[in-house]
Amino acid sequence: MPLDHYVTLGRSGLRVSPLCLGAMTFGADFGWGSSVKDSEAIIDRYVALGGNFIDTANMYTKGHSEKIIGDHVGRDKARRDRLVLATKFSGNLYPGDPNGGGSNRKSILAACEQSLRRLQTDYIDLYWLHNWDKHTPIDETMAALDDLVHSGKVRYLGVSDTPAWKVAEAQVTARFRSWTAFIGLQIEYSLLERTVEGELVPMARELGLGITPWSPLKSGILSGKYTRQNAGQLKSDRGAWADAHLTDKSYALLDELQHVAKQLDTTVARVAIAWVQGRPGVTSTIIGARTLAQLEDNLKAPDVKLASEHVAKLDELTKPTLGFPAEFAPLFPMVQNGGTTINGESAPIAPFVPSQPGDHY
């Protein structure tokens, strides 16, 4: 699937590329990102190949990420209008100011104006709540966001890194009050982070949220540079964030990814991204690249066609523990279906219910 084979995001008509360009690494302010020149080259190559979906946040590289995008794209209105620019609020860039971040009305409106200035545009296509602010009622957040949409400064809304129950409250509240609802859910999702399949993924599919996974390569662990053979020899530039995941389980997965990549004449990174992109509910996977070479490799992931046996093996190696009630849910059809098949799902009759019609009190 090429970048210009667009998909609609969630319950909306917004067309986006199947791979989204993540801009968290734009700017070297944290010591490991891309230079301004390299960031611009990455944007140009992504757009030249048909990509139209760029994702950043107000706090990425202290605001420099947004500024790089604004300087290179925002000031060219014709080019900017062809793109779907997404950014996030919640991050506080102003030490000592309690309203400098979070999700209250004051902070949201200020953050939006600041992002518009850095991006050099008069509207944001997709505005994400970056993470849940437990100190602000969700109806205050949704009302403020709805005002931004009606003002024309924001086109669509999304939510990131927030518990499923709180997203559900926000979504239902918005619909009952005729406010603008979320169309996207941004969550960490990879072969090494599948616990989202317990609550977040089913919630998104039920409530019309297109899933845009971040870190499909788990901070580079699944990029292909780490192998069982070089275990302990390579140190991640992200330190403990990535090193903690270099475990026996990860190396077993990497062994299988290498095996699949060799069979399909592709790379480990592409296989890992293709697996994420093929998950139910996933719309557009966010890829981050610090170099053009990384970008070129990752952008070929949609061309990888995993066989059912490949997916089954990868699923088996990474099966998560989902917790209650997700772990209990496979038993429900046995209790509910009465031995019949419903929507293609069959289950035997539970041993503690009647086996024949009328065989009950």
Point out the least confidently predicted range of 24-38, 58-72, 306-320.
24-38
| Residues above pLDDT 70, as percent of the chain | 95
Which residues face 89 on adjacent strands? Answer: 129
Joined together, the tokens standing for residue 40 give: 């611009």
Element (H, E) at 298: helix 292-298
Average model confidence (pLDDT) for the chain? Answer: 93
Report d(CA 347, CA 329) in Å as an integer. 12
Per-residue pLDDT reduced to its tens digit, 303-361: 999 999 999 999 999 999 999 999 998 889 988 888 899 999 988 888 877 667 767 67
According to DSSP, the β-strands at 124-129 and 154-160 are parallel
Taking CA atoms, 182 is separated from 153, 169, 275, in Å, by 16, 11, 25
Distance CA 119, CA 63 (A): 10
User: Which residues are catalytically annotated?
Assistant: 60
The answer on pLDDT for 136 being more than 90 is: yes
